[in-house]
Amino acid sequence: MTQQANNATLEKPSVFAMASQQFNSAADRLGLDDGIRAVLGSCKREFTVNFPVKMDSGATQVFTGHRVQHNVFRGPAKGGLRYHPDVTLDEVKALAMWMTWKCAITNIPYGGGKGGVTCNPKLMSRAELERLTRRFATEISPLIGTVSDIPAPDVNTDGQIMAWIMDTISMHSGYTQHGIVTGKPISIGGTLGRTEATGRGVMLMAREAAKERGLPLEGARVVVQGYGNVGYWGVYLLEQLGCKIIAASDSRGAIYVEQGLEPESLLSHKTDNGSVLDYPGSQTITDAELLEMPCEILIPAALEQQITEENAPRIDTQIIVEGANGPTTPEADDIFQDRGVIVIPDILANAGGVVVSYFEWVQDIQHLFWDKSDVDNRLESIITRSFDEVLSTAKEHDVNLRTAALMVGVERVANALNIRGVYP
């Protein structure tokens, strides 16, 4: 990473401060006392490791990784692992906090956790990634476990990464631990429906919000920032409902297709060429132009703090469905509320992944696996129920959906704390 990139990272606003601001807004609405607020506003464990990895060149490189458990009052910590050059402890803490609320909103028995390694996996070979993953899994092994803390895929990690973690921990323990991670390949204890789960949740949220707004999905224009797993499945499933996908982006650039693009074709193009750029019939645009493209549904599915008070006034959409974690700042939220734009917050919009991760964990523990229709139907039931509960809270308290979702999640965790009490 260049010095300029390092400086940009240092100057980036604190993501944890943003998450804390959101939490405090909900805590104010709920009237939480100072003691509960102090407990829920802090992370239970913050674990940072610096570990060596032997590179293909024979050189040894030291990497920094983190695993944070924000809260475990409602169950084991649950949350993904990301590999990215900009991973920081501040970011991981925020993501862990959001996972706590996400699990509580969907009412599954998990607390919030998150982890990551500061690296650029796109510049690493498969062998280097495996060595990094196995060493990182060993370093954080005191924390993770089937009944204590269950990692999952996130940015730049996938089922293969999870398989290496599962195998590493299993080798340490002397027996196979299927439930140590979720998002695994089906052949080693993964679940049907997991790959598209987060994107399916995004689709369901967009569908429910469109019903609430009275917006027909047939012909509705959709823009997606971030054409990874979440972005692809979200727009693929929305296209099946009649939507028209007009713009998409990845880390290398953005494209616009006025007549609408075909999601599967774009994915094949990206797989073959390493980017969505130069997709046949497309026009190259900037990422800023993509976010401000007139559309009915905008899906930010990239990284944090993409929509701010600077660009929010120019964003021309009716519904924002946050496929990414933390893409919208509190200041931008206020602007959208004034403008009447529906923002379905990350802790609700992208909860499909953790819900199906929970399904996978349950199946691993029981050694009994479900049909894909069972997974999809159970997911739809939980996601739509959660949307209805959050929408009802928003209307009752005259707040936006983010504040309402936080109120639902924070109140459930606070209730768990009150019932369990403070030890000793």
* 245-263 tens-digit pLDDT: 999 999 999 999 999 999 9
Q: What percent of the chain has pLDDT over 70?
A: 97
Residues 218 and 89 occupy one common structural domain:
no
| Cβ-based burial of 249 (10 A; exposed 0-12, middle 13-18, buried ≥19) | buried
Q: What is the pLDDT of residue 304?
A: 87
Residues 213 and 338 occupy one common structural domain:
yes
Residues 173 and 257 occupy one common structural domain:
no
Among residues 93, 114, 184, 244, the one annotated as catalytic is: 114
- Does residue 13 lie in a domain region? no
Q: What pLDDT digit, counting tens, does each position of 200-211 carry?
A: 999 999 999 999
Q: What is the pLDDT of residue 13?
A: 75
- Does residue 223 lie in a domain region? yes
Question: Rounded CA gap, 159 and 168, in Å?
Answer: 14
- Does residue 374 lie in a domain region? no
Per-residue pLDDT at 215 exceeds 50: yes
- Residue 317: band (very low, low, confident or very high) from pLDDT cuts 50, 70, 90: very high
Of 177, 212, 244, which residue sits at a domain end?
A: 177
Of 281, 315, 349, which residue sits at a domain end?
A: 349
Of 124, 143, 177, which residue sits at a domain end?
A: 177
Q: How far is CA 140 from CA 49, 68, 116, 133, in A?
A: 8, 10, 11, 11
Q: What is the pLDDT of residue 10?
A: 44
The domain of 318 spans: 197-349
At 136, list the tokens: 């990182």
Q: What is the pLDDT of residue 187?
A: 96
- Does residue 360 lie in a domain region? no
Per-residue pLDDT at 311 exceeds 60: yes
Specify the CATH number for the domain of residue 314: 3.40.50.720
Per-residue pLDDT at 9 exceeds 70: no
If you write DSSP's letter for every residue of 211-232 in order, what string do you get? HHHT---TT-EEEEE--SHHHH
Q: Taking the model in full, what pTM does it have?
A: 0.92
- Does residue 376 lie in a domain region? no
Number of separate domains in the chain: 2
Residues 255 and 337 occupy one common structural domain:
yes
Q: What pLDDT digit, counting tens, does each position of 179-190 carry?
A: 999 999 999 999
Residue 366: which of 146, 103, 137 has the closest Cα?
A: 146
Q: What pLDDT digit, counting tens, does each position of 103-149 carry?
A: 999 999 999 999 999 999 999 999 999 999 999 999 999 999 999 99
Average of per-residue pLDDT values in the chain:
95
At residue 323, the 3 state secondary structure works out as coil
Residues 162 and 238 occupy one common structural domain:
no
Q: What is the CA radius of gyration of the chain?
A: 21
Q: What is the pLDDT of residue 195?
A: 92
Q: What pLDDT digit, counting tens, does each position of 261-277 carry?
A: 999 999 999 999 999 99
Q: What percent of the chain has pLDDT over 90?
A: 95
Q: Answer yes or no: are the C-beta atoms of 21 and 41 closer than 8 Å.
A: no
Cβ-based neighbour number of residue 240 at 10 Å: 11
Residue 150: which of 202, 201, 76 has the closest Cα?
A: 76
Residues 132 and 221 occupy one common structural domain:
no
Q: What pLDDT digit, counting tens, does each position of 152-180 carry?
A: 999 899 999 999 999 999 999 999 999 99
Largest CA distance in the chain: 66
At residue 58, the 3 state secondary structure works out as coil
Q: Is 44 a catalytic residue?
A: no
Residues 47 and 168 occupy one common structural domain:
yes
Residues 244 and 168 occupy one common structural domain:
no
If you write DSSP's letter for every residue of 165-227 in order, what string do you get? HHHHHHHHHTS--GGG-SS--GGGT--TT-TTHHHHHHHHHHHHHHHHHT---TT-EEEEE--
- Residue 1: band (very low, low, confident or very high) from pLDDT cuts 50, 70, 90: very low
Residues 248 and 330 occupy one common structural domain:
yes
Average pLDDT over residues 223-238: 97
Residues 345 and 209 occupy one common structural domain:
yes
Question: Rounded CA gap, 292 and 401, in Å?
Answer: 22
Residues 60 and 162 occupy one common structural domain:
yes
At residue 418, the 3 state secondary structure works out as helix
Specify the CATH number for the domain of residue 123: 3.40.50.10860
Residues 201 and 336 occupy one common structural domain:
yes
